[in-house]
Structure 1
Amino acid sequence: MVPLVTTKPVLFRLLSLHICLSFFATHNLAEDNMTVFSTSSLEEQSFHQNSSSSSTTTTYDGNFDNPGTISTAQVSKNKNWPYDGSFRPNNDGAVSSSALPSRPLLNLQCTPKLNPYMETDDPEISSLIVDAGLTYYPVEGAIEISEKITQLQIVIINTNTSQAITAGIVTVNTLGNRFQFPLTTLGKPSTDSYQVICQAYSNDEYLAERPVSVQYLPDPRRKGMTEAVRIESESGTLMVTNDKGALQTLIPFGKSYSSSESTKLIHSLEELKVNTVQLILGPQGATDKSQTTEFLRELGKAGIWIQYDMRNVKKELVASNIDLARKHPNVLLYHTAMEPDGLGIEVGSVHETSLSVKHKDPYHPVSLTLSCEDYQFSNYTSGNDIVLTNPFVIGANQRSSGGVATSNAIYGSSTCDNCKGSFLDLVNRIRIFRDRRHLLQKDRTMQFWGVPQAASANDKNQVPTGEQFLLMCTIYIIEGAVGLMTWNEKMNFSPDLKKAIQTMGTSLPQIGRYLERPQSFLPLPPVKSYPNDTFIANLWLNQADQTILVMVANLAPKKVSWEVHPPAFKFNSTTQLQTSWLYVSENSQHPQIVQKQDKFSLTGKLNGYGFGAWIIQDKLALDNSGGTPPPLNQWTTQ
């Protein structure tokens, strides 16, 4: 464990302290840097809860553990915890309790709210998100502080000028504190990142600091490119520019495709209600550039976004293919590697490709797909903004490669290593990935997408039912995925599966309104290496439009009665609440609202492996606004 982030020259430390004192003496912090969101605020955030109760009634009361903390009994049992394959675990495969601190550590993190910022942005919209959470994890740079310290003085310094660009006060063990600053205080727009330092003080005594890179890029149109795609660090969602020039959230939901029959593809995508296609190029990339250009244009006209997949493209051709892709406004992001961990592809090669793509086009995110639970995770993901995970749990041979080379004898199958053939495998995978992300200090800079299984009858894996597909999507979203990509290049879905895909495609625009809210559970590590939850749920609160999104999933084969108690939420009227359902599993019961004074709860029943998504709203406010409930999907398997 590292007690301090870095050792600084005495002169620099004195200079920093002088800047800190000067700034606090001359600025009204309440006016300049108001903390507009923290974990103590319940207006707009999500709440995540799981249950391993063996009873038939599962209750969720809205009480949560402190962010970023685990008990010493909650130690991972993975063979490769907590770092990559070079880490030598203890003989039982876990980190011993002696490796964990006896007291929680201050885990100071600073992240740009948007990545990247642009020259064309309003200079006043920029901000840094400061997390001052406590953790028992051995995160590098986390420090032990006195229990008497309840507030921190935060100073953020531009290293180029040694000047403070913003400052403020945060409460210890809060997340999502927003610090605004003018972009112009960084300097001129540049393709090189600006380096700033976040420093924490208590009563003017230096405690800790974190370096952070801030991208402030020139107008892409100067380089013959279109609008940039951003990542919003409070929610982890992608932000795209709409027809009116404003940023809006996009929750990608799509399919992979390697052919170029544009008319057939576009018709299929529109029919499936998906908004993204993972376009897989061959070794030569776009061999007919005029044809590919027209193909991308046609996809754009249909409103289809593109995950530009260069996994097969020869290294010497990557740059020319980026030149083609970045000129199209519907190119969403790049995909550089498909299951490199399972295939045993050399880590350095994967990392080099990701960095070269970022260098050539810093205006779009970069992604890759991992197949293994935890094999060289930190090394493979380095340089990537988005990581996709694709454990195939339905009908998979858990100890065979499933047509893909195994990682090695220790880490098992690359199809679904350490899986039990249960939907809990999906929960486990996302939580392990979140755990690794937390240890790498990338809670807000690495996002996860899920790959719900949707194999065709011609593939080796079992074809999921429509109910199974929707359950997988629901699990991924509850556990924190902000994108869904399904792989079935032949586009030959059973009628049942096709209807399920259409249901999710129709529901995601409504769900996206809530996923763009600040996510309070992002930094939470998993509770155990393999979960035993029988019921999971997530709530997203939106005070602005007086609504709550509720998503639930039953991970057991038996019918379950459930009850959810949302946290305090101020409706204009609590006398006329109503639920609108987005989708619900067959023969499962819609929730009933039980009201007691100004509090309420939801109760319902789910069949084995049942699921549902509902929006709670104030009927009176809805009627007064002249609005209408969100479109509903009546999902059945008949």
Structure 2
Amino acid sequence: MLVAALAALLAVQGAAALQATTTTDIPRWCGKPYESGSPNSIPSGWLDAPEPLATQSLYVQVEPRYNIYVSSEKTGSFIVDAALSQYHGQPYHQDIQVPGLASQLFTDLYFTITVESTGQVLVANAVTVNTTDNLFDFDISLLEPRFDAYDIKLYGLSLDGLQVYTATTQLYYLPDKLTGSVTKIDNLNGGLLFKNNATNFEFVPFFAFGFYTNYGGYLELSLENVKAYYDLGYTAIHPIPSFSANLTTILDYLDELNLLFQYDMRGTYTNLTSVAEQVTMVKDYSSLLVYYTADEPDGNQDPLNSTSLAYDTITKLDKYHPIGLALNCQNYYFEDYSAGADYLMEDAYPIGINATFSKKWDTPCNVTYGDCGCDNCVGELQDVSNRLDDFALYQEYLGQWPKPRWAVPQSFDGEEYWSRDPTVNETWVMNQLAVNHGAKSIMLWTYPTTDVLAAANSQQSKVLANSPALDFVTGAKPKAIPIKGNDLLDVSYWTVGKQIMVSVVNLDYASTSSAVTIPLPFWASSIASSPWGSIEWDLSGNTLTVQGLDALATSLVILNV
């Protein structure tokens, strides 16, 4: 069976000749020449905002709540968005005229969601215009579990029937998998759900918090090294290839510990035969969380279709685990490289860099030239959140359903780019700042790190990756609270049930003795707990206040509403 599968995949491999059009004999990173003496040039591949549409438009989208369902689940859900958009959608006219009735406003879209091949109606309902994240349940057990996707169509009408809107998606309803593991993505909030024997094969929310970890020179040396990492309390590990002959011994031990791993195919992901062989080897491990194909393909200017070819190869063999990759550039062929992933990782490393001049290459750095270790960064903590925000914005430009974003914060120095390690407080700020801006997992680069940073990240992992914080960061989307007059306070909140978790990150390197006030866009009755940080907040209705704030302070506070 494997031989036949490989033969089919080899036919796809012939398409791998599509190269990034910017590849030349001049060494480049993110399309930019970076060696002294190289001519300056403007990189291609920049993604700009689309031209605004001529008329107001309604952009209707439909997506399954989860990227996959399995046959043990009996209820499915669709998410329906009906947002007014300046970039995407079909013309929207607010006034409608229903025969026999007075002129009305077009406020509700009436729709059906059907299986295209059979016309079977799964949902018939209505949604308010200019709303998003509307959930509609259906009986998924009416469908037959299979490995091929069901093509789904939403057909919507205004009340007068004159304005028509359509949207399509795919629904995966797979036979259940009772060996190994299953991981799925929550398309509403971006988090992961995971099941294996340790969860009694029930899906549980999961937040990966751990490190890219050296396989050669560390993990391969002894199981004691694996256990030492596990004992720090991290929930996930990312072994960095290349791998040696004892890989299965290490992976077997990860199964024993239930330490979930992100399986890395960097260096081999463009060899589709190798990809197929590796997937076949690891797909039934109970500790397999996700696959990772390309490491900074945009910086390296890998073939533009390389990530998609690897994605197609993996999903032919395993539809039960999502696929991710890390993008290093701020904006370089984002659409092409991101197409080959279910989730996207950013790895902006701002600590200890000179953002304008490269000591390593003796050249300046700007938007068209140079490599300073962090593409188009300014050397501030906000480079991390800015990159996450950029990736979200690009997906809006493309009209895509948003893929989850993960962060790869810095925990290293060297290579003539980074003059120092982050401090403990800088580490905590980068991690929590990423979560404030929508990161749904954190995998730092790289382990082994210093003992101080290993311990600091261990502390934060035990909070963010476990309840109660876990319930908020996986169960909702963060909403920002702008602080008027203080751009160095980054505040977000998550609402789950009758509680709200507020996250406060102070980006200021100087402490203040003055009172700091957080105006809340809601009323709260009491403080339930403070799972992270030493700030003692006072709550009064819709205001959090503290007298004085330490430099680079971080805080999580849970409120009852």
TM-score (structure 1 length as normaliser): 0.71
Please tell me whether residue 379 in structure 1 is matched to residue 336 in structure 2.
yes
Of 526, 533, 536, which aligns to 1:584?
Answer: 533
Please tell me whether residue 250 in structure 1 is matched to residue 200 in structure 2.
no
What is the deviation of 1:556?
A: 3.2
What is the deviation of 1:245?
A: 2.6
Counterpart of 1:34? Answer: none
Please tell me whether residue 128 in structure 1 is matched to residue 78 in structure 2.
yes
What do the CA deviations read for 1:312-351 (whole angstroms, capped 9, x no partner)?
2343221111111111111000000101111111112232
Structure 2 CA distance for partners of 1:262 and 1:119, relative to 1, 3 Å: farther
Asked whether the 8 Å contact 1:158–1:195 carries over to 2, the reply is yes
The DSSP-based 3-state class of the residue aligned with 1:298 is: helix
CA distance in 1, matches of 2:150, 2:238: 32
CA distance in 2, matches of 1:402, 1:157: 59
Structure 2 CA distance for partners of 1:161 and 1:418, relative to 1, 3 Å: same
Counterpart of 2:16? Answer: none
Asked whether the 8 Å contact 1:371–1:415 carries over to 2, the reply is no
Counterpart of 1:350? Answer: 307
1:306-345 to 2 correspondences below 5 Å: 306-313=261-268, 314-345=271-302
The DSSP-based 3-state class of the residue aligned with 2:475 is: coil
Asked whether the 8 Å contact 1:238–1:250 carries over to 2, the reply is yes
More displaced 10-residue stretch of structure 1: 608-617 or 104-113: 608-617
Counterpart of 1:270? Answer: 230
Please tell me whether residue 501 in structure 1 is matched to residue 457 in structure 2.
yes
Please tell me whether residue 228 in structure 1 is matched to residue 188 in structure 2.
no
What is the deviation of 1:581?
A: 2.3
CA distance in 2, matches of 1:161, 1:414: 55
What is the deviation of 1:407?
A: 12
Asked whether the 8 Å contact 1:322–1:360 carries over to 2, the reply is yes
Letter matched to residue 532 of structure 2: Y
What do the CA deviations read for 1:209-237 (whole angstroms, capped 9, x no partner)?
1110111112335xxx5232111112111
CA distance in 1, matches of 2:508, 2:428: 15
What do the CA deviations read for 1:587-626 (whole angstroms, capped 9, x no partner)?
xx421112xxxx34211243333321122348xxxxxxxx
Aligned-residue sequence identity (percent) comes to 25
Counterpart of 2:92? Answer: 144
Counterpart of 2:69? Answer: 117
Higher strand share: 2
Structure 2 CA distance for partners of 1:109 and 1:398, relative to 1, 3 Å: same
Structure 1: which 5+ runs fail to align? 1-78, 527-531, 619-638
What is the deviation of 1:550?
A: 1.0
What is the deviation of 1:392?
A: 0.7
The DSSP-based 3-state class of the residue aligned with 2:155 is: strand
Counterpart of 1:15? Answer: none
CA RMSD for the aligned pairs?
A: 3.2
Counterpart of 2:39? Answer: none
Structure 2 CA distance for partners of 1:277 and 1:337, relative to 1, 3 Å: same
CA distance in 2, matches of 1:402, 1:115: 45
What is the deviation of 1:559?
A: 4.2
Counterpart of 2:494? Answer: 540
Structure 2 CA distance for partners of 1:466 and 1:217, relative to 1, 3 Å: same
The DSSP-based 3-state class of the residue aligned with 2:305 is: helix
Counterpart of 1:601? Answer: 543
CA distance in 2, matches of 1:602, 1:348: 49
Counterpart of 2:505? Answer: 553
Asked whether the 8 Å contact 2:489–2:505 carries over to 1, the reply is yes
Of 463, 466, 478, which aligns to 2:421?
Answer: 463
Counterpart of 2:250? Answer: 295
How many residues are aligned here?
495
Asked whether the 8 Å contact 2:70–2:175 carries over to 1, the reply is yes
Asked whether the 8 Å contact 1:119–1:216 carries over to 2, the reply is yes
Letter matched to residue 257 of structure 2: A
Letter matched to residue 241 of structure 2: L
Please tell me whether residue 281 in structure 1 is matched to residue 231 in structure 2.
no
Letter matched to residue 199 of structure 1: Y
The DSSP-based 3-state class of the residue aligned with 2:279 is: helix
Asked whether the 8 Å contact 1:269–1:275 carries over to 2, the reply is no
CA distance in 1, matches of 2:255, 2:129: 46
What is the deviation of 1:377?
A: 0.3
Asked whether the 8 Å contact 1:127–1:180 carries over to 2, the reply is yes
Of 130, 148, 153, which aligns to 1:192?
Answer: 148
CA distance in 2, matches of 1:316, 1:408: 39
Structure 2 CA distance for partners of 1:608 and 1:379, relative to 1, 3 Å: same
The DSSP-based 3-state class of the residue aligned with 1:329 is: coil
What is the deviation of 1:492?
A: 3.4
Structure 2 CA distance for partners of 1:379 and 1:149, relative to 1, 3 Å: same
What is the deviation of 1:580?
A: 2.6
Asked whether the 8 Å contact 1:470–1:500 carries over to 2, the reply is yes
Structure 2 CA distance for partners of 1:460 and 1:375, relative to 1, 3 Å: closer
Higher relative contact order (CA 8 A, sep 6+): 1
TM-score (structure 2 length as normaliser): 0.81
Of 377, 383, 396, which aligns to 1:438?
Answer: 396
Structure 2 CA distance for partners of 1:383 and 1:406, relative to 1, 3 Å: farther
Structure 2: which 5+ runs fail to align? 1-30, 33-42, 96-104
What is the deviation of 1:562?
A: 3.4
What do the CA deviations read for 1:23-63 (whole angstroms, capped 9, x no partner)?
xxxxxxxxxxxxxxxxxxxxxxxxxxxxxxxxxxxxxxxxx
